[in-house]
Amino acid sequence: MTLQGWILILGFVGILLALAKPVGLWLFALYEGRRTPLHVVLGPVERGFYALAGVDPQQEQGWRRYAVHMLLFNAVLMLFTYAMLRAQGMLPGNPQHLAAVGEHLSFNTAISFTTNTNWQSYGGESTMSNLSQMLGLTIHNFLSSATGIALAFALFRGFARREAKTVGNFWADVTRITLYLLLPLCIVLTLVYIAGGVPQTLAGVVDVSTLEGAKQSILLGPVASQEAIKMLGTNGGGFFNANSAHPFENPTAFTNMVQMLSIFVLGVGLTWCFGKAVGNPRQGWAILAAMMILFLAGTSVTYWAEAAGNPVLHQLGVAGGNMEGKEVRFGIAASALFSVITTAASCGAVNAMHDSFTALGGLAPLFNMQLGEIVVGGVGAGIYGFLLFAILAVFVAGLMVGRTPEYVGKKIESREVKLAVLAIAVLPLVILGLAAISCVLQQGLAGPLNKGPHGFSEILYAFTSAVANNGSAFAGLTANTPYYNGLLGVAMWIGRFFIIVPVLAIAGSLAAKKYTPESAGSFPTTGGLWVGLLVGVILVLGGLTFLPSLALGPIADHLAMIRGQLF
């Protein structure tokens, strides 16, 4: 570990904290449906969309209607992309003349991008045409993240409103978030990326005669425009197979910093927006503090493990930290930091290959996802996932003092706690269930590249990533098979919508309650005690379930590594 590495990590956190309020203010304006300066330009577009779609943005929806409209929209979007990928061979914008994408791969990919997972069973450069990347995939990058923020807004309204029947209008939320937040930011980010060396062209392959006289083909495409929303929307689906490790996706240490900030910036802004929405920004800061504690803990583990390196290679005479799967322009600190950010959020973009991390270096990213990606988390998904834990934490506190728990002015009763537990239980149930099945079936065991405990880690990581809607991989796993494409597709769907629907039900139930003012007996949810309780509840309720599986995977792998046992 170096001083420069730590300055990078702490500097990153510092910039984020400085961005929380300004971004949160912008989000709050959208949450309230207020006018922004951008309405001058984009207002007519918004109104045109409503007119053509027959939407009245003023018409409020109850949680059931909000949920049904969200589900139907996502279903239509998914079918759109599935149809497009199946028809790829017949469509224009295909300079490489790639054939149609296969059935199970199209199924997996359409779900993957709809659910904000962006798990990629394919290598982008050899599978997707320019048109598929733009029209079939980029659109989901915008709309799945807009859906996530919309759901967070609905839950915020549940906490903020008093004796109300409604939680907002889904169509208005999605349209406003896309037009006034995601699109303008992406225009700026695209230009930053192009300036840094990310291609943006409709051309395809360029033939190169290298200095040594060999032939090399390099692929160009509309990369920068996709890169911008890929990071900002915590999607993570790369234009190329190597994702943000590819020099065309992430050419410099500066673009790397911009990408890391993009992943977290909206999630951090949403914590502030939540505090403002419930009338006390300190509520938001408390959440952010708990997130940052968990984040710095994970980063420290991975940075330490990667900087210490692999003793197996040291034995062979190699000096220094673990550089297998890492790019020189980033180095160990920026790669370790990126890996923890991308798994703390539901991004899943990678600037280094997690599969080649040391055993403990790969454990922190895996554990981040198993907690449910609530450390900042995916845009929208992170904060609503975190609030589920907040509900459980006040419930635990309530049990200890023997009072009905309250959180930000709402009594938390049996219905909310049951729904929160239901949503949180999805993760271990599906991840561990499907990973266990895959360890006994031939089709499952055919997947891993690495043998021994690391092979098990590859399977565990895949289902964790899918259910948590992350999309990063221990990419040695051969996942482009009917078995894995099918099962991971189902896992992603469950991981997204079996959590969203309980969240909306909680929003509806909270909105209907009356305001309970804070009293002397209320457990304060802003101070250090609360932050500590949150961290504890997250680790115990969210993490402990996975400890046995981690012992079989990364921890066994670590013990083998220090003994020099190879597989």
Partner 1 sequence: MNTDITTAVRPAIVLTILFAILLGLVYPLAMTGIGQAIFPSQANGSLVRDGGGRVIGSTVVGQAFTSDRYFQTRPSAAGKGYDGLASSGSNYGPTSQALADRVKADVARRRGEGVTAMPADLLTASGSGLDPDLSPAAALAQAPRVARVRGLPVARVAALVAPLTEDSPLGDRHVNVLALNQALDRMTRR
β-sheet bridge partners, residue 200: 222
* Binders of partner 1 in range 28-47 (CB under 8 A): 45
Tokens of 521: 């007996």
Query: Amino acid letter at 448?
Result: P
Per-residue 3-state assignment (H helix, E strand, C coil) for 68-93? HHHHHHHHHHHHHHHHHHHCHHHCCC
Query: Amino acid letter at 251?
Result: P
| Cβ burial 157-189 (10 Å sphere, 16+ → b, else e) | bbbbbeebebbbbbbbbbbbbbbbbbbebbeeb
Q: Are 394 and 346 in contact (CB under 8 A)?
A: no
Tokens of 409: 């002015």
Read off φ and ψ for residue 406, nearest 5 degrees: -130, 150
Nearest distance in Å: CB 136, partner 1 = 7
Distance, CA of 259 to CA of 184 (rounded, Å): 16
From the list 1, 29, 98, 220, which residue makes contact with partner 1 (rule: CB under 8 A)? Answer: 220
* CB closer to partner 1 out of 123 and 543: 123
Nearest distance in Å: CB 328, partner 1 = 4
| Binding flag, residue 188, partner 1 (CB under 8 A) | no
* Binders of partner 1 in range 292-331 (CB under 8 A): 309-310, 312-313, 316-331
From the list 33, 43, 123, 543, which residue makes contact with partner 1 (rule: CB under 8 A)? Answer: 123
* CB closer to partner 1 out of 293 and 312: 312
Tokens of 358: 């040391």
Choices 20-28, 217-225, 291-299, 397-405; region in contact with partner 1 by CB under 8 A:
217-225
| Binding flag, residue 3, partner 1 (CB under 8 A) | no
**Per-position x/- string for 228-247, each x denoting binding to partner 1 as judged by CB under 8 A, each - no binding:** ------------xxx--xxx
Q: Are 266 and 258 in contact (CB under 8 A)?
A: no
| Contacts (Cβ under 8 Å, ≥6 apart) of 227 | 189, 190, 193, 198, 239, 249, 250, 259
| Binding flag, residue 208, partner 1 (CB under 8 A) | yes
| Binding flag, residue 6, partner 1 (CB under 8 A) | no
* Binders of partner 1 in range 488-547 (CB under 8 A): none
Q: How many residues bind partner 1 (CB under 8 A)?
A: 129
* Binders of partner 1 in range 76-105 (CB under 8 A): 76-77, 80
Neighbour-count burial of 297, counting CB atoms closer than 10 A to its CB (0-12 exposed, 13-18 middle, 19+ buried) = middle
* Binders of partner 1 in range 129-148 (CB under 8 A): 134-136, 138-139, 142-143
| Binding flag, residue 457, partner 1 (CB under 8 A) | yes
From the list 22, 44, 99, 126, which residue makes contact with partner 1 (rule: CB under 8 A)? Answer: 126
| Contacts (Cβ under 8 Å, ≥6 apart) of 528 | none
Q: Residue with structure tokens 């990408």?
A: 259
* CB closer to partner 1 out of 8 and 383: 8
From the list 14, 201, 415, 529, which residue makes contact with partner 1 (rule: CB under 8 A)? Answer: 201
Q: Are 322 and 361 in contact (CB under 8 A)?
A: yes
From the list 18, 25, 99, 187, which residue makes contact with partner 1 (rule: CB under 8 A)? Answer: 187
| Binding flag, residue 481, partner 1 (CB under 8 A) | no
| Binding flag, residue 196, partner 1 (CB under 8 A) | yes
* Binders of partner 1 in range 50-69 (CB under 8 A): 52-55, 64-65, 68-69
